[in-house]
């Protein structure tokens, strides 16, 4: 890779991390006006609408191998749609800081899945790092978290949903590596979101029955558009672009930046408090992830 393109790649990855970090705050604001299941259906549907013009513009249907369609739908449904469903359900039940600390374990899950796919090997040091990182999550719940607002109160169920979001995204990271060799990010995203929107359509329609769309404020609609366009479309396209040029584990390593950025935004925008258990748990998680990646 040339030096100029190398620098551009890392600028795009940093922009991706910034947009994903801000998304935690945007989602919390959106959840004040939309129930999480409906929000997920709308987010995926609007993202699919954003992707269709780009897919048609690149004439993706003409160059598409029809045998890859089931794989693209499968990858999108489980790696993108399910990830966002877990993410929204989790954030509706736990704090931003807890969420981003658990998501920071993504490199651990990438390593585990890559090992299961026989792409990497787990050494003793990597295994020790995984156990340390998991113990950090335990610390988040073992120690009390006093004096937080109800909206920022962590819960085990919410954290488990965020855990599921991290696992599905990690699976998407590993499985998506081979797909990017044959298809563009536009094609993968289009099938993921359009397929996801169709799969979620019954749930979206059911959730819409008694929902007062007219009561949603301009800020509420703005958060929905942000969620559908930036973290759902633009960030995934940057992510796929990066996967074609550097390893999956190296891309996922940039998740180290998210906890710091997201925590600062949560403190400023949502008045969330950073407590001792969060600091202790986060330090242990980062130590474990660092050890596993250097193992």
pLDDT in tens, 13-33: 889 999 999 999 999 999 999
Is residue 15 within 8 Å of residue 238, measured between CB atoms? yes
What is the greatest pairwise CA distance in the chain? 58
Comparison of pLDDT for 144 and 245, the residue scoring more:
245
38 secondary structure, DSSP code: H
pLDDT band at 245; cut points 50, 70, 90: confident
What is the C-alpha to C-alpha distance for residues 233 and 167, in angstroms, rounded to an integer? 20
Cβ 92 vs Cβ 36: under 8 Å: yes
Instruction: Write out the two tokens for 125.
Output: 């040091």
Contacts of residue 52, defined as CB under 8 A and 6 or more positions apart, other chains included, come to 190, 194
Range of the domain at 120: 3-293
Q: What is the mean pLDDT of the chain?
A: 84
Helix axes 276-293, 96-103, angle to 10 degrees: 10
List C-alpha distances in Å: 145 to 65, 99, 139, 278.
Answer: 52, 14, 11, 8
Tell me how far the alpha carbon of residue 13 is from its chain's centroid: 14
Predicted confidence (pLDDT) at residue 151 exceeds the cutoff of 70: no
Residue 5's pLDDT is what? 67
| Structure tokens given for 128 | 């020790």
Mean pLDDT computed over 133-149: 70
Closest CA to 106 of 44, 27, 172: 172
Considering only CA atoms, which of 75, 283, 61, 261 is closest in space to residue 179? 75
Lowest mean pLDDT among 60-69, 188-197, 222-231, 254-263: 60-69
Count of domains in the chain? Answer: 1
pLDDT band at 123 (very low <50, low <70, confident <90, very high): confident
Token reading at 126: 């990597």
Tokens of 221: 């609609």
Identify which has the larger pLDDT, 185 or 45: 45
Assigned token pair, 234: 């633009």
């Amino acid at each position: 890779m040339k030096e100029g393109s190398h620098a551009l790649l890392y600028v795009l990855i940093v922009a991706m991390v910034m947009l994903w970090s801000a998304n935690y705050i945007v989602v919390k604001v959106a959840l004040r006006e939309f129930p999480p299941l409906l929000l997920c259906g709308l987010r995926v549907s609007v993202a699919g609408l954003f992707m269709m013009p780009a897919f048609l513009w690149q004439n993706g249907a003409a160059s598409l191998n029809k045998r890859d369609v089931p794989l693209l739908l499968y990858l999108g449904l489980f790696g993108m749609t399910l990830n966002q469903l877990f993410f929204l359900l989790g954030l509706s039940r736990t704090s931003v800081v807890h969420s981003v600390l658990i998501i920071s374990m993504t490199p651990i899950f990438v390593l585990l899945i890559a090992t299961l796919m026989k792409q990497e090997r787990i050494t003793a040091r990597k295994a020790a790092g995984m156990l340390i990182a998991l113990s950090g999550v335990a610390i988040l719940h073992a120690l009390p978290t006093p004096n937080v607002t109800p909206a920022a109160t962590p819960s085990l169920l919410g954290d488990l949903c965020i855990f599921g979001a991290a696992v599905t995204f990690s699976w998407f990271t590993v499985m998506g590596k081979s797909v990017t060799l044959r298809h563009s990010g536009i094609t993968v995203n289009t099938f993921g979101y359009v397929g996801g929107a169709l799969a979620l359509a019954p749930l979206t329609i059911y959730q819409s029955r008694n929902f007062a769309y007219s009561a949603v404020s301009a800020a509420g609609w703005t958060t929905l558009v942000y969620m559908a366009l930036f973290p759902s479309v633009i960030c995934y396209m940057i992510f796929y672009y990066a996967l074609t040029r550097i390893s999956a584990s190296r891309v996922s390593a940039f998740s180290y930046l998210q906890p710091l950025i997201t925590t600062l935004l949560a403190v400023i925008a949502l008045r969330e408090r950073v407590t001792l258990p969060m600091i202790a748990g986060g330090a242990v998680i980062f130590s474990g992830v660092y050890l596993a990646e250097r193992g």
